[in-house]
Amino acid sequence: MKILFFTNEYSHPKLPPNGGVGTFFKTISYELIKKGHEVHIYGFSKKSYSLNDNGIKITFFKQYFKAHPLAELMRSLSARLGLSKITAYWLAKERQFLAKQLKTYSTQNQIDIIQSFTFNGFTAYWDNSIPLVTRFHGSRGFWHHYLGHKNDALKIAMEKKALLATPFTVANSYFSKDFIKSYYNVDVDTVIPNGINTNVFSPDHSVKEIPKSIFYIGTLSKAKGVQDLVEIFNAIIKEEPNASLHLIGRGAKYWDYLKAEVFTKEALNKTTYYSHIPFDQIPKKLSEASIIAVPSKGETFGFTIVEAMALEKVTIVSNIPVAQEIINHGIDGFIAKDNNDFKNIILNIFKNTEETKPIKKQARQKVLSQFTQEKMTDNTLAYYEKIVAKLNNDQ
């Protein structure tokens, strides 16, 4: 099968830095190549790129507003002046350009199926002449509704248009499925949870665990619950002075705010901020943790939760809807009802470390049975085959 992933990011050292979507496309592309499928990464960036990544053909063309500087000037001015109709015109113009580029490339390369993502609605004008699967990794609508981000109504409208442009929508969790239906009024065709590399994220017993340590990894922000975690730690350090907090991730300005406004002196003295660390160093660093905390206000899936569980770490997650799909409370991890509950769970774990050993084992077993990249790829491939077979039968 010839499969194309349409994207503006991909994880490769010669390409610009990427987020979770870029990592997802790399992961699934490698798995599909191993199964003998032909994979194309096609999309747009600030510059043009043409690369080959272990048999994966990567082609990025220059994004619309970089290739058309006058259009960028007009779009920028209309946005600054609050001229929403003009801004909407240029957003549509960009997406029509993307659809045309995608159509040309896909036809020339005889692509069987395309997959892209919901965020920003870049596929809003696709005509589905070649079936397009839209996978929900998150969206501006989700950011606005759950994380308090600005209501970017025009781009959110494009996200809905992109979801409506194809009947083949995949959610990465049942929570995401329900969100898409309630927020965009669009039905999701199937749910395929994310998967991780359980060889990379596996217990490393050569790494010495830091006793009574709490680790957090992710962007430092209020939406990710980092301020809550600091306030929880302020309370913990009063009862357990040997505890330590370890923060990993981008957000130097937010770190400065936390130091100045949120941390107590005692808690700050027992906290280490590592800033960003490369992906390949993450499993070893997290292996030092006694507890991995995920205090987020909202996640569509939660890679950090699954990665922590795969490392056989005690994982505590805030009471967000998707947590219920991943963790069985008290069996393979913990779900904290509120900050006080979060604190009490941590203190109880510190006092009863032996009792967590079966929880750690169960956590990894849960990931191995439900959240591997192999399972995710197999489910995705089965979905592609179902779509292509149905279309062939209809013709």
Helix axis angle, 252-261 relative to 226-239, nearest 10°? 40
Which residue, among 248, 259, 196, has the nearest Cα to 220 in the 3D structure? 248
Q: What is the mean pLDDT of the chain?
A: 95
Angle at 348 between CA 343 and CA 354, to 5 degrees: 140
Q: How does pLDDT run across 112-132, given as a tens digit for each residue?
A: 999 999 999 999 999 999 999
Kindly report the CATH number that applies to the domain delimited by 2-195+373-394: 3.40.50.2000
| CATH architecture under which domain 213-370 falls | 3-Layer(aba) Sandwich (3.40)
Q: How does pLDDT run across 142-155, given as a tens digit for each residue?
A: 999 988 888 999 99
pLDDT band at 79 (very low <50, low <70, confident <90, very high): confident
**pLDDT above 90 covers what percent of the chain?**
85
Q: How does pLDDT run across 175-225, given as a tens digit for each residue?
A: 999 999 999 999 999 999 999 999 999 999 999 999 999 999 999 999 999
- Alpha-carbon distance of 258 to 219, in angstroms, equals 13
The pLDDT of residue 67 is: 87
Which residue, among 325, 297, 310, 296, has the nearest Cα to 362 in the 3D structure? 310
Do 2-195+373-394 and 213-370 agree at the fold level? yes
Q: How does pLDDT run across 84-96, given as a tens digit for each residue?
A: 999 999 999 999 9
**Helices marked H in the chain — which ranges?**
20-34, 64-67, 69-80, 84-108, 140-147, 153-164, 174-184, 226-239, 252-261, 265-269, 282-286, 303-310, 323-326, 339-351, 357-370, 373-394
Question: Model-level pTM?
Answer: 0.89
- Tell me the domain boundaries of the chain: 2-195+373-394, 213-370
